[in-house]
Amino acid sequence: MDEIQIYIPSRIFLGDETLARLGGIAENYGSRALLVADSIFTDTSLPERIGTILERKGIKLINSPGIKTGAFHDVVEELVSLSRASKTQMIIGLGGIRTLSIAKCASALVHGNRLVDDLLDGYPVTGQRISYIEIPTTCRNPFMLNSRLLLLDSRNRRNRILDIPELIPNAVIIDSSLASTLSSKYALSTLMDTFLYALEGYLSIRNNFFSESQFLKSFALVDSALSIYGNPEYEKEFLVKASEAGLSAAMGLSTSGMGAGSGIAFAVAGKFAVPKSLTAAMMIPAMLEFGATTVPDKMARIASILEADTRGMEIAEAAYKAVEIMRNRLGVHIGELRLAKLKIHKDEITDIAEFVSDSPLIKNMPGAMTVTDIQDMIRRSL
């Protein structure tokens, strides 16, 4: 058996109203904090509530300007300057994947002499990072429990995934009640995003016995959440299951990795300024079929998780049974999330496919993928 190493130093707090624990967590890291939050929270009571929670523990909170949807990597430098000027000892990220990645990146640069452009150009971080606390407001963040993050390069509108060694949050607070502020459609799209991450991590050549158990649990939780989606009576339970599914997927991705579907979704979202969670939903059917073709034994296992009766079936038949079940269960919802009027010119498809083919995510795939294969996947999905 190949050796695996598991090290997840983040303290993880999951539950309803766990945000109230923030003060007790943050007091371990200093007395001055910088809040980096999605711009949608700027005019809400949430930043004030966070400030009050911290103030009870003698921690002063500095609010940064809200991070707008589609923010470029340049904003990291603004946060680093603000953090240095205010002498903050910790950064608190609040929001979705992009805002959390920006906050995470800023925490790595405060005490060093690198610019964010240097990181994008491949230079290593210098200096010791400051403490970082993550508060996701959606059910998923594939970079939550690993050293990777996502930045949108302003120089070419490319979504870039960076890996900064040991840059893992000191603590993560997953408060399912925060997701209640999301629209029903957006909450659904982030759940689909979770499923894609878990699927790719499960199919990945980096998957192992630890990550596999996390991904299989995530599949079951996503399926359970989908079964009650849209029912007002179970809205709270839906959010809890979605958060649990997201955490399980993130745990798995701490030792496994994403794949081509996410690579395409990130590339399209960056280039065309569309929500990444929507493009991710479009990639699910193609990734299911890819899995059934390349690693049918793994897909057959998913069928059993979904309570399909596969007794007497050949592995290949059971694999496509899993594809059939998930396509049926996701189909109506994927249709609900389909992007309107996103017409990608054939030259742009080639450009995206070439970029994705150079992505480190492709190395995680269980089968070889050429630029042509990626082009075909884009055409069939978007």
Question: Which of 4-13, 172-181, 335-344 reaches the highest mean pLDDT?
Answer: 172-181
pLDDT at 247: 97
Query: What is d(CA 368, CA 362) in angstroms, rounded to the nearest whole number?
Result: 8
For 326, the token pair is 């998930």
pLDDT at 306: 78
Asked if 63 contacts 35 with a C-beta cutoff of 8 angstroms, the reply is yes
Helix, strand, coil: what percent of the chain each, to 5?
Answer: 55, 10, 30
Q: How many CB atoms lie within 10 A of CB 281?
A: 28
DSSP at 9: -
pTM exceeds 0.85, yes or no: yes
Question: What class is the 11-178 domain?
Answer: alpha beta
- Sequence-ordered list of residues with C-beta below 8 angstroms from that of 375, at least 6 positions apart, any chain: 349, 350, 353
pLDDT at 181: 81
pLDDT digits (tens, 9 = 90+) for 119-158: 999 999 998 899 999 999 999 999 999 999 999 999 999 9
Question: Which of 110-114, 200-204, 226-230 reaches the highest mean pLDDT?
Answer: 200-204
pLDDT at 340: 61
Query: What is d(CA 24, CA 171) in angstroms, rounded to the nearest whole number?
Result: 11
Ranges for all domains in the chain classified under CATH 3.40.50.1970 = 11-178
Q: What average pLDDT does range 4-15 have in this prediction?
A: 86
Q: Which of 51, 53, 71 is nearest to 61 (CA)?
A: 51
Query: What is d(CA 88, CA 31) in angstroms, rounded to the nearest whole number?
Result: 8
pLDDT at 7: 75
pLDDT at 339: 63
* Spacing of C-alpha 372 from chain mean position: 27
Strand, helix or coil at 70? coil
* Spacing of C-alpha 126 from chain mean position: 26
Worst-scoring range by mean pLDDT, 271-275, 337-341, 356-360, 362-366?
337-341
pLDDT confidence band for 328 (50 / 70 / 90):
confident
pLDDT confidence band for 341 (50 / 70 / 90):
low
Query: What is d(CA 336, CA 327) in angstroms, rounded to the nearest whole number?
Result: 14
Ranges for all domains in the chain classified under CATH 1.20.1090.10 = 182-381
Asked if 275 contacts 339 with a C-beta cutoff of 8 angstroms, the reply is no
Q: Does position 308 have pLDDT exceeding 80, yes or no?
A: no
DSSP at 176: G
pLDDT confidence band for 225 (50 / 70 / 90):
very high
Q: β-strand 11-15 against 171-175: which pairing, if any? A: parallel
Query: What is d(CA 200, CA 265) in angstroms, rounded to the nearest whole number?
Result: 13
Q: Does position 1 have pLDDT exceeding 60, yes or no?
A: no
Q: What average pLDDT does range 360-366 have in this prediction?
A: 93
Tell me which CATH code domain 182-381 carries.
1.20.1090.10
Element (H, E) at 267: helix 260-272
Q: Does position 2 have pLDDT exceeding 70, yes or no?
A: no
Q: What average pLDDT does range 218-234 have in this prediction?
A: 92
